[in-house]
Amino acid sequence: MSHLFAPYALGAHPLKNRIVIAPMCQYSAIDGLATDWHMIHLGHLALSGAALLFTEATAVSPEGRITPADLGLYSDETEAALRPVLQAIRRYSPIPVGMQLAHAGRKASCAVPWEGGQCLSTAEGGWQTVAPSALPHAATDTIPLALDTTGLQRIQDAFVASALRAHALGIDLLELHAAHGYLLHEFLSPLANQRTDEYGGSLENRMRFPLAVFDAVRAAVPASMPVGVRISATDWVDGGWDIEQSVAFSRALEQRGAAFIHVSSGGISTLQKIPVDPGYQVPFAARIREEIEMPVIAVGLITEADHAEKILADGDADLIGLARAILYDPRWPWHAAAQLGETVDAPPQYWRSQPHEFKKLFGDTSPKKK
């Protein structure tokens, strides 16, 4: 058996292979509410043959949205809008569904990417952003309000409330977004966090609030619900967050019962210089995996089945996260299974689609008597 199609487990959730659909923002919600787009998009990916599907970054409060079109889970209305989407997935696919909970911090209140992505003023439909320190992401952005003790507690409570809503919806796993320059990452990075209180300065202090949020969420949901974290392993800026600090943060999360670490990079600074090549983030995942026992998800320009197989065979990660590659090819797991001589789940409505040379691709497709 190939490594990519070997079974695995996250907590009590068995995974049929090592392919994870990573969170991908769609900027297609209305006032935080899921729309028909989410039904089509997530439903489509749920039939892909991957082992685990994450929803996009889901805001824990209205001001935590990256754009006015971000998905949210912070009210009865946003919870109700997601329910039929998840019910449809459950009806037609056995895939476990995870949710990434997020707060965009100083990178909130922006236009959607295809409209420029610039920071929006209140007159343009934006809102006042918040952050660890009153430092904007870009020089032209609105200056965020530095969070006080009350604000920190409000955000921690929002993460907990959203986690409880996710559990009520039947979400299988949670991932806290501490990457890509958003709020929890802003606390970790000295480039965004210049506080002089117990939440700034030393590594221990900068980790304090993200770890408090993790602890609160972990305590709020049942032990059977795995909770992991996505990190940016490096800021790609001298003097910023780096792999050594990421190892320390990962160890602290593991000690607190984190179920997995999802290793990405960048996003905190407009000065970042990223050498983008296939698998450019995999060395960070590999380094962290050397230091911890919990599962590691590698992501970042992993587009070919052979490459994914090698990453796993070399012991650089436990799971492979796909994002843009599976948007481009929503049947990527089918094609990878065909290439590696493996089988993959597909709904019976699609069984007739398998090419003759891969007639065992979907396993036993003989008619079943009732």
pLDDT at residue number 367? 78
From the centroid of its chain, how far is CA 219?
Answer: 20
pLDDT at residue number 370? 67
Higher pLDDT, 368 or 183: 183
From the centroid of its chain, how far is CA 233?
Answer: 14
Residues whose CB falls within 8 Å of the CB of residue 141, separated by 6 or more in sequence, listed in order: 106, 119, 129
- The two tokens of residue 176 are 């806290």
pLDDT at residue number 364? 82
As a whole number of angstroms, the distance between CA 287 and CA 244 comes to 9
Q: What is the rounded average pLDDT for all residues in the chain?
A: 96
pLDDT digits (tens, 9 = 90+) for 6-34: 999 998 899 999 999 999 999 999 999 99
Largest Cα span, the chain: 69
The residue-averaged pLDDT of 337-353 equals: 94
* 182 noted as active-site residue: yes
The residue-averaged pLDDT of 140-149 equals: 96
Q: Which domains does the chain have, with CATH numbers?
A: 8-358 (3.20.20.70)
- At 322, which amino acid appears? L
Q: Given a cut of 80, is residue 368 above it in pLDDT? A: no
Q: Tell me which of 8, 27, 74, 182 is the catalytic residue.
A: 182
pLDDT digits (tens, 9 = 90+) for 74-116: 999 999 999 999 999 999 999 999 999 999 999 999 999 999 9
Q: Given a cut of 90, is residue 369 above it in pLDDT? A: no
The H or E element containing residue 13 is strand 13-15
Report the helix count and the strand count for the chain, using DSSP H and E: 10, 12
Per-residue confidence band for 339, with pLDDT thresholds at 50, 70 and 90: very high
1 burial type by CB count under 10 A (0-12 exposed, 13-18 middle, 19+ buried): exposed
Pairing of strands 227-232, 261-264: parallel
Burial 244-264 (b: 16+ CB within 10 A, else e): ebbbebbbbbbeeebbbbbbb
pLDDT digits (tens, 9 = 90+) for 247-295: 999 999 999 999 999 999 999 999 999 988 999 999 999 999 999 999 9
